[in-house]
Amino acid sequence: MEFMQPATWSEALAMKAAHPEATPIAGGTDVMVGLNLDHGRPESIIDLTRIRELGEWGSDDGWLRIGAGVTYTKLIDELGDRLPGLAMASRTVGSPQIRNRGTVGGNLGTASPAGDAHPPLLAADAQVELASATGTRRVPVREFFTGPKQTTMRKDELIAAFLVEPAAGPQQFSKVGTRNAMVIAVCSFALALDPARRRVGTGIGSAGPTPLRATEAERFLEGVLDEQGSWDRRTRVSEAAVTRFGELVASAARPIDDVRGTAAYRRHALSVLARRCFTWAWAAA
């Protein structure tokens, strides 16, 4: 095993180009578990923690561009007001020790269907910035995940950052687990409302081979809110419409039975999470 510690981003990209099989390591909260439990040994490791800009964020044409190495703790502290949905999800990740080290870049890199950062990024229509020695491209999060732990990232690429617009309206995140901390989601749901653009965004976690959007549910809710003129006047939304929204979210999931829960339970729980998230978001709108 080789240990590489690039000091700059261009060095890191050159190393990844020369060693496409190398495993990058950021906070190590996924990589180290694999190493400690000896689930296979990588050919080589590229430590990304020396690259200063990966741990920084800034704005980019009205969007926030957040380095792949920004930890959950930093995100909560510095961006919690601008990205409330992602901050809520970040607060549910592990423990303080995990949030102090773990990064959204690492969450995207692992691409677990249960990754808690994914639903809010989907709901907010975020983009992932991938870089290689030969160039940079931006991929919508909704196209990033291709299967369980699989993404569109090429072997010569690294995740530089993700881009997301500051919240334009209320956002919510909710997660089901056996305890209030240190749990992998049984299922989770994120909602983002954008009243100015009359848009509803959703993200479903841990209930399919990849994180998913509930597109039909989004269009349905947009239709209800448009029809009632609710976006501007915040009128009450009927119980029936909220229930239907929950059903459409549940039907967008593609869950399986596993140790954490059954597919049927996940669908049911998702309909409840979707209703709750909307009710909370609407109350705050």
Partner 1 sequence: MGVGRRLKVDCTVNGSRHVADGVWEGESLLYVLRERFGLYGSKNACEQGECGSCSVYLDGTLVCACLVLGGQANGRSLVTIEGLDGEKVEQAFVEAGAVQCGFCTPGLVVAAHDLLQRVPRPTDAQIREALAGNICRCTGYAKIIAAVHMAAGSA
Ligand X SMILES: Cc1cc2nc3c(=O)[nH]c(=O)nc-3n(C[C@H](O)[C@H](O)[C@H](O)COP(=O)(O)OP(=O)(O)OC[C@H]3O[C@@H](n4cnc5c(N)ncnc54)[C@H](O)[C@@H]3O)c2cc1C
Site residues, ligand X (CB under 6 A): 23-31, 33, 48, 68, 92-94, 98, 101-103, 105-107, 109-110, 115-116, 158-159, 182
The site partner of 123 among partner 1, ligand X, none (C-beta below 5 to 8 Å per kind) is none
Task: Say if strands 44-47 and 2-4 run parallel, antiparallel, or are unpaired.
Answer: parallel
The site partner of 159 among ligand X, partner 1, none (C-beta below 5 to 8 Å per kind) is ligand X
Nearest residue to 85 (alpha-carbon basis) of 198, 174, 213, 217: 174
Q: Which of residues 19-48 bind partner 1 (CB under 8 A)?
A: 25, 27-29, 31-33, 35-37, 41, 43, 45, 47
Task: Say if strands 187-194 and 171-176 run parallel, antiparallel, or are unpaired.
Answer: antiparallel
Least distance (Å) from ligand X to the CB of residue 153?
Answer: 6
Residue 262 engages partner 1 in binding (rule: CB under 8 A) = no
Cα–Cα distances (Å) from 36 to 23, 30, 102, 184, in that order, read 15, 10, 17, 19
Least distance (Å) from partner 1 to the CB of residue 91?
Answer: 9
Residue 2 engages partner 1 in binding (rule: CB under 8 A) = yes
The site partner of 272 among ligand X, partner 1, none (C-beta below 5 to 8 Å per kind) is none
Read off the tokens for 203.
């993200």
The site partner of 134 among ligand X, partner 1, none (C-beta below 5 to 8 Å per kind) is none
Least distance (Å) from ligand X to the CB of residue 37?
Answer: 11
Residue 94 engages partner 1 in binding (rule: CB under 8 A) = yes
Least distance (Å) from ligand X to the CB of residue 190?
Answer: 12
28 versus 255: smaller Cβ distance to partner 1? 28
Residue reference for tokens 């209030």: 180
26 versus 221: smaller Cβ distance to ligand X? 26
Residue 98 engages partner 1 in binding (rule: CB under 8 A) = yes
Binding letters toward partner 1, positions 147-186, x by CB under 8 A = ---------------------------------xxx----
Determine the size of the site formed for partner 1 (CB under 8 A): 29
48 versus 186: smaller Cβ distance to ligand X? 48
Where on the chain is the footprint of partner 1 (CB under 8 A)? 1-3, 5, 25, 27-29, 31-33, 35-37, 41, 43, 45, 47, 49, 94-98, 100-101, 180-182
